[in-house]
């Protein structure tokens, strides 16, 4: 998701049906395509992992400049589905089959653990990590890498998702103060 202030170059300004936000997304998409074309032109595409992702849902306070969560409730700063479900696309032609989709629970903090595993390096053992190696799911060996995921805002445990179920311990609108829930 792009952040405000939004900017689109003259080649993309006014081209989408979604206003300036859509123009920015189209330009972003085009920029990624240009980068991938150069990687392919250099002959290193099969050895290159490309990752494009968002860290949160739309920033609803920015209205039409903040994106959309579609059918999901909430946005950036919330633990509702619209705030935590965000797209990620991974491309690595020699390792990941086209069309591979992961439906299990993953999180941004899984990237570090996954990259360490893929590189063959060892995780430091002097601390605990929240991330889980996603490579079995990326490479099509399994769909599910974790059963449950806790969601925090600062130090507050806000919600827990286990498979298709989720309980909200606290909720908040955007960046407000957490409201205790009675699950």
Burial 22-56 (b: 16+ CB within 10 A, else e): bbbbbbeeeeeeeeeeebeeeeebeeeeeeeeeeb
Q: Are strands 88-91 and 50-53 parallel, antiparallel or unpaired?
A: antiparallel
Round the CA-based radius of gyration of the chain to a whole number and report it. Answer: 19
Mean pLDDT of 26-46: 97
Q: Which residue has the higher pLDDT, 158 or 140?
A: 158
What backbone torsions phi and psi does residue 95 show, to the nearest 5 degrees?
A: -120, -30
What SS3 class is residue 21?
helix
**What pLDDT shows up at residue 155?**
86
176, pLDDT greater than 90 = no
pLDDT at 74 over 70: yes
Report, as an integer, the average pLDDT of 124-146.
86
Does residue 68 or residue 9 have the better pLDDT? 9
To the nearest whole percent, how much of the chain has pLDDT over 70? 96
177 band by pLDDT with thresholds 50, 70 and 90: low
CB 5 within 8 A of CB 59: no
User: What's the confidence (pLDDT) of residue 157?
Assistant: 93
Residue 93 half-sphere exposure toward CB, CA atoms < 13 A: 9
pLDDT at 28 over 90: yes
Round the average pLDDT of the chain to a whole number and report it: 89
DSSP code for 114 = H
- Mean per-residue pLDDT for 170-177? 75
Round to whole Å and give the CA distance between 149 and 165. 11
Which residues face 157 on adjacent strands? 152
pLDDT at residue 90 in the model: 92
**pLDDT in the model for residue 183:** 66
């Amino acid at each position: 998701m792009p952040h405000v202030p939004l900017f689109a170059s003259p080649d993309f300004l006014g081209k989408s049906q979604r206003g300036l936000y859509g123009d920015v997304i189209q330009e972003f998409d085009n920029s990624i395509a240009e980068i991938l074309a150069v990687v392919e032109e250099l002959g290193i595409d099969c050895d290159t992992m490309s990752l494009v992702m968002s860290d949160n849902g739309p920033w609803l306070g920015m209205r039409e400049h903040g994106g959309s969560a579609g059918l999901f409730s909430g946005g950036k700063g919330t633990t509702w589905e619209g705030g935590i479900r965000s797209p990620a696309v991974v491309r690595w032609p020699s390792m990941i089959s086209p069309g591979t989709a992961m439906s299990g629970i993953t999180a941004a903090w899984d990237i570090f653990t996954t990259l360490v595993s893929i590189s063959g390096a060892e995780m430091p053992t002097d601390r605990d990590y929240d991330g889980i190696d996603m490579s079995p799911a990326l490479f099509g060996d399994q769909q599910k890498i974790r059963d449950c995921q806790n969601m925090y805002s600062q130090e507050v445990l806000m919600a827990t998702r286990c498979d298709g179920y989720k309980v909200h311990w606290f909720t908040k609108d955007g960046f407000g103060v957490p409201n205790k829930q009675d699950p």
